[in-house]
């Protein structure tokens, strides 16, 4: 008998998949991999051992623009064969009568998610440097793509990416925060006044880091995942985010203090910057600005999550105590100020 978790109409989804996957052997089992405020991800297995992945928006009231299944499916379908590893796109369903919301199915990619410091230590030491280099090389390959040549030229506005991001996240704080954040607003003013000239426009992943990739058993990236924030714009924002998430700061707190690349053998952020420089012709002299921007942006995102938890809008999901959340946001803002001083 098939398992039917919240967010899945097993009978309808099984029928839909059977029309697209020859030899599908029902009944299907649906296992929630990730959930919460982000998109829901299910591992789908049939009785013959076949495995797929299904993505759909969270249940309940959500902003369609923030959980656009068509957009995610379009991106991974477009990137097939480009050299940027992505899961194979199986199909997109936009008929709400099937499962209550849009969803898409992709092929399952064998590998592991190296998520936190414990995973980093458990990963074979002899493969860590290779994995770090593969992570950078994959990012360079993504940034080298011409969006129009892969059918993504209209994915978003190409110009003024950073200015638009600064306006977007400031607006979220202005409209949604329940406290004064003077350093946040001061940094917004200073970042806005020093935006580097954008060096062309490329595909921006939007949240590129090791735990948003599937890692192969040979020390390479076998699939880039979580394309929710992907758009067009200034690709160096991705590199700035990767540097932030590398975890070089020994005093890092919260999630930034629990990243896998803090384990010995992955190298430093400087090593990764050097690798990117070797393989890309982009000028990285303004990279500290992008790292500062990413600290500030993550502070805005974290403040939004903190407010929703405090208001009880996140249901039964496990959250961070309000005082700890505020401390983490303060750390991010201090980090933004320190990096901006280097810009």
Per-residue pLDDT tens digits for 29-53: 999 987 555 678 999 999 999 999 9
Q: 99 in the Ramachandran plot: left (φ > 0), alpha (ψ -120 to 50) or beta? A: alpha
**Confidence band, pLDDT 50/70/90 cuts, at residue 57:** confident
Phi, psi of 90 (to 5 degrees): -95, -45
CA–CA gap between residue 226 and residue 230 (Å, rounded): 9
Q: Residue 320: is its pLDDT beyond 70?
A: no
Q: What is the pLDDT of residues 324-339, one digit of tens each?
A: 889 999 999 999 999 9
Q: Are 74 and 55 in contact (CB under 8 A)?
A: no
Reported as a pLDDT band with limits 50, 70 and 90, residue 253 is confident
Q: What is the mean pLDDT of residues 195-221?
A: 97
Domain edges within the chain: 10-107, 117-342
Instruction: Provide the CA 310 distance to its chain's centre, in angstroms.
Output: 24
Asked if pLDDT for residue 114 goes beyond 60, the answer is: yes
Q: What is the CATH number of domain 117-342?
A: 3.90.1200.10
Residue with the larger pLDDT of the pair 275 and 254: 275
Compute the mean pLDDT over every residue in the chain, rounded to the nearest whole number.
92
In a 13 Å sphere around the CA of 11, the CA atoms on its Cβ side amount to 1
**Residue 318, pLDDT score:** 59
CB 224 within 8 A of CB 212: yes
Instruction: Give me the phi and psi of 7, to 5 degrees please.
Output: 100, 0
Helices (H) and strands (E) in the chain, counts: 11, 9
Q: Which fold has domain 10-107?
A: Phosphorylase Kinase; domain 1 (3.30.200)
The DSSP letter of residue 211 is: G
- Tokens, residue 48: 């013959």
pLDDT value, residue 235:
98
pLDDT for res 15: 97
Q: What is the pLDDT of residue 324?
A: 86
The dihedral built from the CA positions of residue 189, 190, 191 and 194, taken in this order, carries a sign that is: positive
* Higher-pLDDT residue of 283, 320: 283
- Which helix (H) or strand (E) element contains residue 213? strand 213-215
- For the ranges 58-67, 90-99, 121-130, which has the lowest average pLDDT? 58-67
Cβ(5)–Cβ(32) below 8 Å:
yes
DSSP codes of every residue in 171-183: HHHHHH-SS--HH
């Amino acid at each position: 008998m098939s398992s039917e978790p919240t967010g899945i109409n097993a009978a309808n989804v099984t029928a839909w998949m059977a029309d697209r996957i020859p030899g599908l052997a029902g009944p299907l089992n649906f296992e929630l991999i990730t959930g919460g405020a982000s998109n829901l991800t299910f591992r789908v297995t049939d009785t013959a051992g076949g495995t797929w992945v299904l993505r759909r928006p969270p249940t309940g009231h959500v902003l369609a623009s923030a959980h656009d299944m068509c957009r995610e499916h379009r991106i991974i379908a477009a990137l097939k064969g480009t050299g940027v590893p992505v899961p194979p796109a199986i199909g997109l369903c936009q008929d709400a009568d099937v499962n209550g919301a849009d969803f898409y199915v992709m092929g399952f990619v064998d590998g592991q998610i190296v998520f936190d410091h414990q995973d980093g230590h458990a990963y074979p030491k002899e493969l860590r440097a290779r994995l770090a280099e593969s992570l950078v090389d994959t990012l360079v390959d993504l940034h080298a793509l011409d969006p129009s040549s892969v059918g993504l030229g209209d994915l978003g506005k190409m110009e003024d990416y950073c200015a638009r991001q600064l306006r977007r996240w400031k607006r979220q704080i202005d409209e949604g925060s329940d406290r004064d954040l003077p350093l946040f607003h001061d940094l917004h003013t200073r970042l806005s006044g020093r935006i580097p000239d954008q060096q062309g426009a490329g595909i921006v992943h939007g949240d590129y880091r090791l735990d948003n990739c599937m890692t192969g058993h040979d020390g390479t990236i076998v699939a880039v995942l979580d394309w929710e924030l992907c758009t067009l714009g200034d690709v160096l924002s991705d590199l700035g985010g990767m540097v932030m998430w590398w975890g070089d700061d020994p005093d890092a707190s919260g999630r930034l203090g629990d990243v896998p690349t803090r384990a010995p053998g992955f190298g430093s952020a400087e090593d990764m910057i050097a690798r990117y420089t070797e393989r890309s012709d982009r000028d990285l002299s303004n990279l500290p600005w992008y790292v500062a921007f990413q600290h500030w942006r993550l502070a805005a995102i974290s403040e939004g999550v903190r407010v929703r938890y405090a208001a009880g809008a996140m249901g039964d999901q496990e959250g961070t105590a309000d005082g700890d959340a505020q401390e983490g946001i303060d750390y991010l803002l201090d980090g933004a100020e320190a990096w901006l001083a280097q810009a």
